[in-house]
Amino acid sequence: MRVGCGYDSHRLVAGRRLVLGGVDIPFERGLDGWSDADVLTHAVIDALCGAVGLGDIGTLFPPGDPRYQGVSSLRLLETVVGMVRERNMSVVNVDVTVLAEEPRLSPYAAEMRRRLADVLRIADDCVSVKAKTNERMGFVGRGEGIAAFAVASVALAGM
């Protein structure tokens, strides 16, 4: 068994859609980034990369590379899951906490779990998505951005 942790944050800006866990969230601002800027999925990618020694998301999918401009982060996650499997490992579980003052994310958590589980090739109950506010403290509390923390465990395939 191996464990990795991941973190990501992006600034909220006008003129972008808000995507978290592969789900479009109705909101007047979205996250700024080269891909779809899905901080939740990016944190999961970094957690998986850490668990199997792949480096980080920026190394695998460099910002500025035209192949990844506007790409769905679920596609990037799918690529990383393939890399995990190439190492004869499989994802056991993922736990994610998203920090956002607004919008309210709990109505979308079940769909986020389902979409992540599909790409990770694990059962929905092996994925946890939690949303927290930052009690109006820091960049998240001021509504300037959204952040996410993730932990992922992997094991030798077949275990």
Residue 60's domain comprises 2-156
pTM reported for the whole predicted model: 0.96
Which pLDDT score, from 0 to 100, does residue 138 have? 96
Mean pLDDT, 10 residues at a time, the chain of 159 residues: 97 97 97 96 98 95 90 97 97 98 96 98 97 95 97 88
Which pLDDT score, from 0 to 100, does residue 159 have? 60
Measure CA of the first residue to CA of the last residue in the chain; give whole Å.
9
Residues 6+ apart with CB under 8 A from 36: 17, 19, 70, 71, 72, 73
Residues 6+ apart with CB under 8 A from 111: 21, 23
The beta strands (E) that lie in 27-123 are given as 29-31, 89-99
Domains held by the chain: number: 1
Residue 102 sits in a domain of what CATH number? 3.30.1330.50
Please state the separation of Cα 143 from the chain's center in Å: 19
